[in-house]
Structure 1
Amino acid sequence: MCVAKLTKQLSWNKTINMGKFSTMSRFPKQHISEKFLAEQKKETGNQLYKAEKYQQAVTYYSEAIDLCPETASYYGNRAACYMMLHQYRDALEDVRKSVSLDDTFVKGYARMAKCALALGDVATAENAIAKVKELEPLNASILVEANKLDSVKRFEEEGHKAYAKQDYRKVVFCMKKALEDAPYCTRYKLRKAECWAFLGKYQEAQEIANDILHVDKQNADAVYVRGMCLYYQDNVEHAFSHFQHVLRLAPDHKKAKDIYKRAKALKQKKEEGNDAFKAVRFQEAYKLYSEALSIDPHNDAVNAKLYFNRATVSAKLGRLNESITDCTSALKLDETYMKALLRRAKCHMDLENFEEAVHDYEVVVKMDKSRENKRLLQDAKFCLKKSKRKDYYKILGIDRNASTDEIKKAYRKRALVHHPDRHASASDGEKKEQEKKFKELGEAYGILSDPKKRARYDSGQDLEESDGLGGDIDPNSVFQAFFAEPGGGGAHFNFGSSFPGGFAFQFG
């Protein structure tokens, strides 16, 4: 573009002071023309900068640099535009160039401090701040950046310590605080994303990694974080491809190497455990699942399945309490794991922990209202109701399949032991205990010796609500009736005893 044409285009700058170029008379005419054009470009850029048209201003500053590449202020001005456009890496490159051309360029060092701080480049920010203080000891504006830098350094150090202790929530907090003053620090963002992955916040972690990869497709750490999320969500094959890609981008990436190694070991050990289980080698399967659980404590998705698999093995081996413990561990890692809930509920049923079983089945039904799940809950509630009744078979000390004769023999033996008259000289507390047992024996015999009552009792019906069949039973009446039967025994009764029921018992 010729000087005349440029001057015409920039009518507002026609009166530019040419005196500033008088010192250039010793330079060739071509150089004077280039400097004049460069200054025109800079002035146009300045006007655009003031009008907040930063991208257009960059174009003019770039043209000025092309004309006079050794002028520090042009790089400084373009850096200011890049900063307004949040292109801090480009800005940092420009200010580095500006201070290399003029090591007394205070604005260049001040802008370097701002750019380095925004990018989380602590060392560069420190050096730039120190240089400003050296060149202009009374420069007050740099104190703002110095305070921000101190804050960033503090949170970075605290985050580093928390990471070493695997306190990932604190790391996330520290990185958030550091990013308030270093908002374009990729390193802080990825450290936060990595810790989100450790904490199971996979969507948050992936969003950060994806944003970084959108700008920098070759960022190995961002690819690593995406691989972590896939691995921890049990998408192993896709995770493997990500870790392999990381190692192609950065062959010495230690974290990628370590997690890739763990992922392969975990996959292999889990498959070996599954093979042993299918081959009915339960002890071996239990051992292999236990070994797999020690490989990676952060992989909740896989570890939940491993705990469930080991719980299944324990149930097969009859170790129901161990099975319950492993199911509980699986549910801590994945509270929606229905198979673990069903397995734990079944173990509770087998152990007659009916209240716990009902609770688990209720959770299952909320998750899946299938007919089968509703039936399981109904059965558990029925068993719970039955369990709260007195166990008359246990009171008599007989099996549930006991015959009528076995019921009579059991009653005779225990009634004679617990009859209150036999404990007339005992303490008040002992008397009450024997009276209670004697009454329960009468209830048990009264129910189990009657075929209809026994059938209703066995079916779980509430006897007190079934035509009065389970109403209050007088233990003395049962006792008298029993021993009045042929072959009932050699007992003799004298009424008038102080024992409730009004008879005295004498052993023959």
Structure 2
Amino acid sequence: MEATIKKLVTLKGEIKWYVDCGDFKQALVHTKNALALAPSCRDLQAQNVRILLHQKEFGQIADFCTAIVQKQQAIYSKPAIRGGLNTQSLMEKTVDEIKLVGIDLGLLWATSLHYQNRAEDAIRIVNALEVVAPCSSHVIRLKRQWQDMKQLKHNGNEHFKRGEYQEAVRFYSEAVQIDGQHQEYCAVIYCNRAAAQMGLERYHTAILDCNEALQRKPKYPRALLRRARCHVALKMYHEAVKDFDRYLREHPADSSSDTADDVRRERNEAKAAIAKAREEARQREAAKKRAEREQRQQRHWGQTWEDSRFYDGFRRNTSSSGTGYRYKSSGPSGRASFMAPKTQRRTHYDVLGIEKVATIDQIKKAYRKLALVYHPDKAKTSTHAELFKEMTAAYNVLSDESARSKYDRELIYNRFGNFYES
């Protein structure tokens, strides 16, 4: 006996340790070992059901509680009941069962039935618990919790039917906070709240609610369809097609229904939208490449034309005059003159390829542009070097406001005559 008690104490300590560590599988094994030593211990019975409840083994909970009831009935049954007709009502039988299993185990049994969405059976057990323990705060709290869950869901549904989506969201949000472990109930509430969010055109939020519903109830067709339609509303067509296909794959029984026909139509529309978006993207990319190609061609031909015009003009002038024109110092006065005949000279404006009304910024820009091509560091021929000298001479005059003014007067009055500096 002492050895059994010591072993039982050791097992209880190990059970607590495994539960605290979250290793419910090992906790369940040790609980069963402890029950083998003390099968009538209500603490161990309740511990066993709590672990099964955490693991969502609702069927095992029902079997375990039923086995306890049958065992206790076999011990305490009266001969009159075995031999005669049983005239007890269902409620009376349930009360007797609760007396046999105890309050704690009865509460867990009712909770497991409620988690399976067997509301009538769960409420019947709670009502029996009220008869057996009318003042139990645990029984009162559990019953009130279920009433609140039912009422909040009802209120949310009523507001949704009236199109009062914001109020519906508020009630659903309260409902989902009551018992987060009730997977079936929470899945329905999240799905309903997603519908209300869709009514408010909050499609991203609705998708999150659908995800919550599907996490708790993976094969939930209504949540899957609502998420697909949210994806369509957000033009997330690839995700929508995946959800539509998943619905048709997981629910083949509906393949001949009107709902399935609607789903196929919506899926085909989403696929068509994908094809259209892909074609539009292809056209945009083609247009972009075409525009870039045209810009490159324009830059190429523009540069070629400018270089050709500049070089041809230079050749015409140099072929007839030999050296074009140059400035020549004329003593202390700093006088300079054009050495070539008037008809053979180009103006500084012609050299830089600009208009006579060009601004100083335009002059600088034109000079820099030509310098990139004809600078001595980049010059490929002696002709290019000559061109750079002409460009520099023209720029030195035109970039100086006073010198440019005198040069302009010289052009007007002397028609390419001598240019004097005072």
**Aligned 8 A contact 1:270 1:306 in 2:** yes
- Quote how far apart the aligned CAs of 1:276 are: 1.0
Alignment correspondent of 2:57: 201
| 1:421 counterpart letter in structure 2 | Q
Residue 158, structure 1, aligned to residue 17, structure 2: yes
Are the aligned partners of 1:155 and 1:178 in contact in 2 as well (CA < 8 Å)?
Answer: no
Following superposition, the deviation at residue 146 of structure 1 comes to 5.5
User: How far, CA to CA, are the matches of 1:286 and 1:383 in structure 2?
Assistant: 31
- For residues 262 and 184 of structure 1, the distance between their equivalents in structure 2, rounded to whole angstroms, comes to 30
CA distance, structure 2, for counterparts of residue 329 and residue 168 of structure 1 = 25
| Residue in 1 that maps onto 2:208 | 325
Paired residues of 1:227 and 1:240 also in contact (CA < 8 A): yes
Alignment of 1:338 onto 2:221? yes
Q: 1:179 aligns to what?
A: 35
Q: Which of 242, 245, 249 in structure 2 is aligned with 1:362?
A: 245
Contact 1:194 1:225 in 2 (8 A): yes
Could you tell me which amino acid in structure 1 is paired with residue 296 of structure 2? P
Deviation at 1:328, TM superposition (A): 0.4
Structure 1 pair 250/197, CA: closer, same or farther in 2 (3 Å)?
A: same
- The CA deviation at 1:354 is 1.9
Structure 1 residue 422, shift from structure 2 partner:
5.0
Structure 2 residue 268 is matched with structure 1 residue 378: yes
Residues 1:153 and 1:247: Cα distance change in structure 2 (over 3 Å):
same
Contact 2:207 2:227 in 1 (8 A): yes
1:367 and 1:184, CA in 2 relative to 1: closer, same or farther beyond 3 A?
A: same
User: Once the two structures are superposed, what CA deviation does each residue of 1:97-147 show, in whole Å capped at 9, x if it has no partner?
Assistant: xxxxxxxxxxxxxxxx3xxxxxxxxxxxxxxx3xxxxxxxxxxxx4xx355
Measured at CA, do residues 201 and 389 of structure 1 come closer, stay the same or move farther in structure 2, by a change above 3 Å?
A: farther
1:222-268 alpha-carbon deviations (Å, 9 max, x no partner): 43233112211233343222112112212344433332221111111
Partner of 1:248: 131
Q: What residue identity is the alignment partner of 2:34?
A: A
Matched, 1:236 2:119: yes
Higher relative contact order (CA 8 A, sep 6+): 2
**Residue identity opposite 1:303 in structure 2:** C
Counterparts of 1:478-489 in structure 2, within 5 Å, are none
Q: Deviation of residue 151 (structure 1)?
A: 2.6
Aligned CA distance change for structure 1 residues 171 and 281 (closer, same or farther; 3 Å): farther
How far apart, CA to CA, are the structure 1 residues paired with 2:30 and 2:251? 41
Distance 1:334 1:388 in 2: 34
- One-letter code aligned to 1:387: A
Equivalent-residue separation in structure 2 for 1:251 and 1:299 (angstroms): 25
Gaps of 5+ in 2: 73-96, 302-422
C-alpha separation between the residues in 1 aligned to 2:208 and 2:269? 23
- Find the partner of 2:153 among 251, 270, 295: 270
In the alignment, the residues of structure 1 paired with residue 183 and residue 68 of structure 2 have an alpha-carbon distance, to the nearest angstrom, of 26
Q: What is the match of residue 421 of structure 1? A: 297
TM-score (norm 2): 0.56
Per the alignment, do residues 159 and 265 of structure 1 end up closer, same or farther by CA in structure 2, a change over 3 Å counting? farther
Q: How far is the alpha carbon of 1:340 from its aligned partner?
A: 0.2
Q: What is the aligned counterpart of 1:283 among 166, 181, 185? A: 166
TM-score by structure 1 length? 0.47
Q: 1:268 to 1:423 in 2, by over 3 A?
A: farther
**Given the alignment, which residue of 168, 178, 190 partners 1:307?**
190
Using the TM superposition, give the Cα deviation of residue 152 of structure 1 relative to its aligned residue in structure 2, in angstroms: 1.8
Q: Deviations over 1:436-474 (max 9, x none)?
A: xxxxxxxxxxxxxxxxxxxxxxxxxxxxxxxxxxxxxxx
Contact 1:186 1:212 in 2 (8 A): no
How many residues of Structure 1 are paired with residues of Structure 2 in the alignment?
A: 266
RMSD of equivalent CA atoms: 3.1
Q: Distance in 2 between matches of 1:171 and 1:264?
A: 33
8 Å contact kept, 2:8–2:34: no
Q: 1:298 aligns with which of 181, 184, 206?
A: 181
CA 1:239–1:424 in 2, change beyond 3 Å: closer, same or farther?
Answer: farther
Amino acid at match of 1:319: R
Deviation track 1:191-249 (CA, whole Å, cap 9, x = no partner) reads 22233234432111111111112234222334323311221123334322211211221
Amino acid at match of 2:58: Y
Matched residue SS, 2:279: coil
Counterpart amino acid of 2:191?
A: F
Residue in 2 that maps onto 1:391: 281
Matched-pair contact (CA < 8 Å) for 2:12–2:31: no
Cα distance in 1, alignment partners of residues 292 and 129 from structure 2: 83
In the alignment, structure 1 segments of 5+ residues that lack a partner are 1-112, 114-128, 130-141, 397-410, 426-508
